[in-house]
Chain A
Amino acid sequence: AQSVTQLDSHVSVSEGTPVLLRCNYSSSYSPSLFWYVQHPNKGLQLLLKYTSAATLVKGINGFEAEFKKSETSFHLTKPSAHMSDAAEYFCVVSDLRSGGYQKVTFGTGTKLQVIP
């Protein structure tokens, strides 16, 4: 079975403090994992992806995520939040099934609020 759980629907941080958005996944295959960001009234943009190479993945805008197989987690972090980071973040699991098609499941999203 494939599933994604984003543990917090809302996270609020002060500008300049660290960000932690939590994601746990389940997959019967060797999954790829992604984080996407959606700013208000904008399309989804890829932040970073894990595809079985290095377990610590660096993305755009200073974000990074660590793949921990033993914990089935892929948490997103940033050392210092900026006002421009206020957005909704989606964790995504993807695996390749027989027949060559891609099974994808999105988490329900975490809204990040950054307080000045």
Chain B
Amino acid sequence: DVKVTQSSRYLVKRTGEKVFLECVQDMDHENMFWYRQDPGLGLRLIYFSYDVKMKEKGDIPEGYSVSREKKERFSLILESASTNQTSMYLCASSLRPSGIGGEQFFGPGTRLTVL
């Protein structure tokens, strides 16, 4: 079974702090994704990566950056946390498909509160 783990289930940070959210997958997937989930808005893509050291902006990248130094690990960084970044953050991974979109496997999520 694919396993996607996230470093924390709950996190409380102060405005202006630098925040690191870590995600690790154990199935050698090429693609990794960071989403935030807010009530009524579904999941919105922040960034994704389709290979080591490669990254692409999603729909809402402002205020975030990412790092993928190893294939299994994808980090989301909030450079200077703000209260509007309080949310549930979900990491996902998928196998690079050969012409079709692949199923994504999700981690349990990190609920971040910025005070």
Contact = CB atoms under 8 A, between A and B. Distances in A.
How many residues of B sit at the interface, in one of the four size bands? 20 to 34
Given A44-B90, A44-B106, A101-B31, A90 B101 contact: no
Contacts of A90: 42-43
Nearest to A52: B100
B63 interface: no
Contact of A9 (B40, B92, B100, B109): B40
A104 B100 contact: no
A49 B103 CA distance: 8
B12 interface: no
B40 A108 contact: yes
A103 to B, nearest CB: 8
A30 to B, nearest CB: 8
B74 interface: no
A9 to B, nearest CB: 7
Contacts of B89: none
A104 B45 contact: yes
Chain A binding site: helix, strand, loop or mixed by DSSP?
strand
Interface string A45-77: 110010110000000000000000000000000
Interface string B77-115: 000000000000010101011011111101111000000
B90 A102 contact: no
25 contacts: A31-B101, A32-B101, A43-B90, A43-B109, A44-B90, A44-B106, A45-B106, A46-B104, A51-B101, A94-B102, A96-B99, A96-B101, A100-B50, A101-B31, A101-B50, A102-B48, A102-B50, A102-B97, A104-B45, A104-B48, A106-B42, A106-B45, A108-B40, A108-B41, A109-B42
Interface of A: 6, 9, 31-32, 34, 36, 42-46, 49, 51-52, 90, 92, 94-96, 99-102, 104-109
